[in-house]
Chain A
Amino acid sequence: MYHSSAATTRRMFLKESVRWASVFSIVPRHVLGGAHFTAPSEQITRAIIGVGGMGKGHLEYPGARTVAVCDVDRKHLAESLARLEPGVTGYRDFREVLARDDIDVVHIATPPHWHGIICVEAAKAGKDIWCEKPMTRTIGEGQRVVKAVQRHGILFRLNTWFRFKDNFYGFGSPVLPIKKIVENRLLGWPLTVTVGPATGFDWKFQWSGLTNLKPEPIPEELDYDFWLGPAPYKPYHPHRVHNTFRGYWDYDGGGLGDMGQHYLDPVQYFLEKDDTSPVSISVDAPLQHPDAAGSWRRIEMTYADGCKVILDAESTGDHIPYISGPKGNLYKGLRSDISNFERILASLPDPDPQDTDFYRAVRTRRKFPLNEANGHRSCTIVNLGVIAVRLGRDLRYDPEQERFIDDDAANRLILQPMRSPWRI
């Protein structure tokens, strides 16, 4: 039986791994040295919760010293501990991590159905938070996270970065010039933004779920009940967990849940919608399965001022503008039909700065540019889409109250009861 309550040190783990695992090839980082080697010092300390998927990447983020890792899969935990310095402790239960006074920041890289709970508990424990996208699986959980973070003076960073840097997927340019174009009203107002294959964004329907899962034995290394956590009990099947969990509504929202916040957070940023949400959502999709997320064709969201965001899964070709406005269009590759576009663009002032170093924010206590509040709003866009797809009908939304208008079924999906003993 796995040590469920006591913390497990790396040394204990390696001992155990002889019994548990097939073969581990362990070369400690301090032996190898290397670019990311950090000596224990006055550095910020962190714990990484969820180290099986995205969490592996978090192990490599520079700027803080990892002192704890946590996962409900013993294999994941062993693999991550083997990559880290001696002295890092492994945990199965995130609550034990949060109880440690010597941890400044927690990275949350679990599947999304855990994000809300762990964020709120981390805020209540006074830890700053670096949370993977999508921020929360439901709108209601997002509201709780915002409240907890702000109430306790915690800093929060959502882990998508396209509003700051990097080439914006297949669009062929970073977001900064788009922000310049939009905030200087080069294309006029209101704007329509189309996010889909034609403009450089793949909705990744490979993350759809399977509809014929037959129960299988739970692997020994996985604490499946803990993995499910707040989600309804469903018999174990390997497709339900780890690399393919995104295909099930109980844990995420398919390709939309996976990529939505990456693609839509920058849109929210340049459309100046960081503090609001769409007022109407229309959808064109096949009927969905109650458990397994499927594909959809088009989701159209409209803001109160007339700006639209179209999530298009099918159209292709270079003729579809990424942004369309009354004064002109912007196409993939930062092309425009506005004359002398490049020169005009260059002459525009830069947008206000965004400091992208979260650990600096932890030191300066400045709010991170993609924080709990605007992160919740961009996650709401994703969740509005998910709800519209699941219900297969058009919806109206009140961005102030954060409730659907005259739609009981949709409102039931805003905050969903959790399996006991989990709560938010």
Chain B
Amino acid sequence: MKFKTNYRLLLGKVLFFSVLFAQVVDALTIETFLQSMPPQTMNESKALFEQALHENDLFLLSLCERILPAEQGVDAASHYALYGLSQYVMQPDKTAERLRVNRVLEISLIRAHHPEVQRFFMSLLGLCGDRVTLKVLEPYVCDPVVYDDAVRTIASIGGFAAVSMLFTLQCPEDSENKDASIQNALALFGGELEDLARTTGLPRVLLTAIVAPEGIENQVYVAQLCREALQNKDLKPHYRAMVLRFLVHLDHDAALPELLQAASSSEPILWGMALHLAGKLEGEAVSEAWVSILTQVDEAVKPQVIFMLGKRRDDTAQQAIRNAMRDPSWEVRRAAYETITKESGHAFLNDLLEAMGRADEQREVKAIKSSLLRIPQLEEAVWGEISGDWNAVLSLPTAQKRAYLDILADRKATRFAPMAARLAVDENVQVRQSAYATLASVGETEHAELLFEQLLREEDTSAADSARDALAKVTHRLGLEAMVIDKIKHALSTQSNEQIIRLAKTLRDVGSPEAFDTFRQMVEQAVFAKPQDQEQSSALLDILARWQTSEGEALLVSLWQRLEEETLRMEALKQCIVSIQRNYPDPEKQHEHLFALEEKCTTDSERQLVSEALVKSAITGLK
């Protein structure tokens, strides 16, 4: 009562002076202040708000008066200013200023009549308000419109205690809404127990223990209640999971039987929780207990038990993982591979290598490879396994050879290049292709020579492409362009058509100016040769159209203009178009080059070909 009287006196004084001196306030000062909103830096903010705080209260009240309902006009600068001020005074050394700003905001709240404006001041007070503010807000809890805002602001400032006090508040017309708001705000600070009691139907003693375990008086009794609840089949699975979790928290290892029982449940939430909690119990005896139920649990659960055991480090758990790698079920084997980590990997290296030897499905090889790649210093470990004998790998199954090669490529294990070299001549074409890819990343100069030989030797076209691709990569990586071009020049005269094309494609992949010169000589010689080898010439023009630089386009245009034989001339023109389309994805650029080409056409059929390309390009441009 005393507080209210004093506050009213203070409020009266301020209001009196605010009315009396309203005309004295320097409007320009406020305008200047607001023109600086929002300040761009913390220093600017500090200077501005210090300046504002040096002004009298009327200055601050006048600022507050600028807050109007949005429909009457939004003064964003005032919003910035008042928000900034309410934040600024919350700094630790601004206690006195905070009191002052709070009082101003409270007065402004009292003077406001529109709910939107009242809400604005409440939102600021929610950030900086103090115990006095709580009293100012109380009447608003009875307001039919902003009661909930008031309750929330009180909750922000005073927490549980302040909201609890509101139950004693007598409003002129008591409303259910107000009570609901208060209940709602209280729930923020601890409505769990009531919620759980309402939804689970579990004994209150048990729920109280779950919500506040530090207050348990009779642990044995609560554990007993947990065990009874777990037997209650009417209790929803996720509530049983909650009880199981609490029982483990309470009884630790003594809850193992309940965990094992839950693992046999048909409810995924329950067996999932059991497996999750199993990780919290230590000791080999726990692992033994889990291993003992492996044959009893559901097929869907067994892999998950394995996965859980994989996180344990004792011998029993590790042996279970080894056994799992030989399990007839793919899901169980998969769980075993997936559970291997960087830390546990070395212990399972032999098992993984053996599993790789047994693996006959791509998904299994992939899973094992992933596990191997997690093992630190894998290469050294494998080197030890094969006793330093590269030839040992030759007798491995195809899938295993390919997986090793992939691993070496991923790891860029140059030390293992000799292994890849041996497998580059393997009888299986897939192994050879993997070996080429590996040599692309780990091969040395001698391996470039091997790849060159294989490029010419391969009967399989796609394998030859792999060899060529690897050769180009090694060439670029080691700077072997001169050597490779030299070898190509020497080989050209003795090779068949197909091999000549392979060599030409290699020149394109090498892509250096020297490679282009060599290729130019090849193609000029081929297209102007008499008698004409049409097939070879066409193939070379096709390669030229896919040259990595625009030099290819220029040479094609030049060849087309110089060629006389009609079929080959048309072929050259087609490849000119392909080259333009490939070099200029932008339709406008494409048009430009195609128009230039059209101008050089000498026959109707040539013009028609270019014009079709122009139409196609225009349609693409439209899309």
Contacts and interface: CB of A to CB of B under 8 A. Distances in A.
A365 B271 contact: yes
B613 interface: no
B108 interface: no
A409 B45 contact: no
A286 B40 contact: yes
B151 A409 contact: no
B338 A124 contact: no
A232 interface: yes
Interface stretch (B221-229, B405-413, B421-429): B405-413
A218 interface: no
Nearest to B367: A353
Interface in B276-306: 276, 300, 303-304
Given A367-B276, A421-B180, A423-B184, A287 B84 contact: yes
B136 interface: no
A412 B184 CA distance: 17
Contacts of A52: none
B427 to A, nearest CB: 29
Interface string A140-154: 000000000011111
Nearest to B344: A352
Nearest to A406: B92
A284 interface: yes
Contacts of A220: none
B28 interface: no
Nearest to A147: B192
Nearest to B145: A233
Interface stretch (A78-86, A254-262, A342-350): A342-350
Contacts of A406: 92
A235 interface: yes
B156 A364 contact: no
A322 B480 CA distance: 34
Contacts of B374: 349-353
Interface in A37-53: none
Given A232-B119, A235-B116, A284-B42, A353 B370 contact: yes
A151 B273 CA distance: 10
A123 B39 CA distance: 44
A3 interface: no
A419 B119 contact: no
A363 B300 contact: yes
B238 interface: yes
Interface stretch (A186-194, A289-297, A377-385): A289-297
Interface majority SS on A: helix, strand, loop or mixed?
Answer: loop
B271 A289 contact: no
B70 A214 contact: yes
B106 interface: no
B183 to A, nearest CB: 8
B601 to A, nearest CB: 44
B137 to A, nearest CB: 13
A4 B375 CA distance: 57
Contact of B238 (A126, A352, A407): A126
B245 A288 contact: no
Interface in A356-374: 362-367
B367 to A, nearest CB: 10
B341 A352 contact: yes
A408 interface: yes
A153 B269 contact: yes
Interface in B176-227: 177, 180-181, 184-185, 187-188, 191, 195, 199, 210
A288 to B, nearest CB: 7
Nearest to A213: B70
Contacts of B38: 286-289, 294
B245 A151 contact: yes
B552 interface: no
Nearest to B82: A290
Interface string B382-418: 0000000000000000000000000000111110000
A214 B71 contact: yes
Contacts of A215: 70-71
Contacts of B508: none
A287 to B, nearest CB: 4
A215 B70 CA distance: 7
A23 to B, nearest CB: 26
A124 B210 CA distance: 15
Contact of A366 (B45, B153, B307): B307
B127 A349 contact: no
Contact of B76 (A289, A346, A424): A289
Given A232-B119, A287-B37, A353-B374, A409 B42 contact: no
Given A215-B70, A417-B188, A289 B238 contact: no
A212 interface: yes
Contact of B151 (A211, A347, A367, A420): A420
Interface in B254-279: 268-273, 275-276
A338 interface: no
Contact of A233 (B90, B119, B411): B119
A392 B87 contact: yes
**Chain B CB within 10 A, most for which of A288, A342, A412:** A412
B126 interface: yes
A346 B411 contact: yes
A364 B83 contact: no
Nearest to A104: B268
A393 interface: yes
**Chain B CB within 10 A, most for which of A211, A290, A291:** A290
A212 B375 CA distance: 59
A111 B128 CA distance: 27
B134 interface: no
A126 B237 contact: yes
B185 A124 contact: no
Given A287-B38, A350-B373, A418-B184, A342 B412 contact: yes
A311 B210 CA distance: 40
Given A153-B269, A367-B276, A406-B92, A420 B148 contact: yes
B556 interface: no
B330 interface: no
Contacts of A213: 70, 74
Contact of A349 (B76, B270, B375): B375
A294 B148 CA distance: 28
Contacts of B345: 349
A153 B70 contact: no
Contacts of A350: 370, 373-374
Contacts of A211: 74, 76, 79-80
A416 B156 contact: yes
B155 interface: yes
A415 interface: yes
A367 B304 CA distance: 11
A352 B269 CA distance: 25
A402 to B, nearest CB: 16
A233 B149 contact: yes
Nearest to B48: A287
Nearest to A120: B195
Contacts of B157: 412
A391 interface: yes
Interface in A16-49: none
A392 B127 CA distance: 13
Given A294-B38, A349-B376, A419-B152, A409 B411 contact: no
B15 interface: no
A344 to B, nearest CB: 9
Contacts of A418: 152, 184, 188
A124 B342 contact: no
20 contacts: A123-B238, A126-B236, A126-B269, A152-B242, A153-B238, A284-B42, A287-B38, A287-B39, A287-B40, A349-B375, A351-B342, A353-B370, A365-B268, A365-B271, A392-B84, A406-B92, A418-B188, A420-B151, A423-B188, A424-B188
The 9 A-B residue pairs with the shortest CB-CB distance, nearest first, are A365-B272, A153-B241, A126-B238, A346-B412, A153-B273, A409-B90, A211-B76, A290-B83, A417-B152
Given A343-B412, A346-B410, A365-B271, 4 more contacts: A153-B273, A286-B40, A289-B76, A349-B376
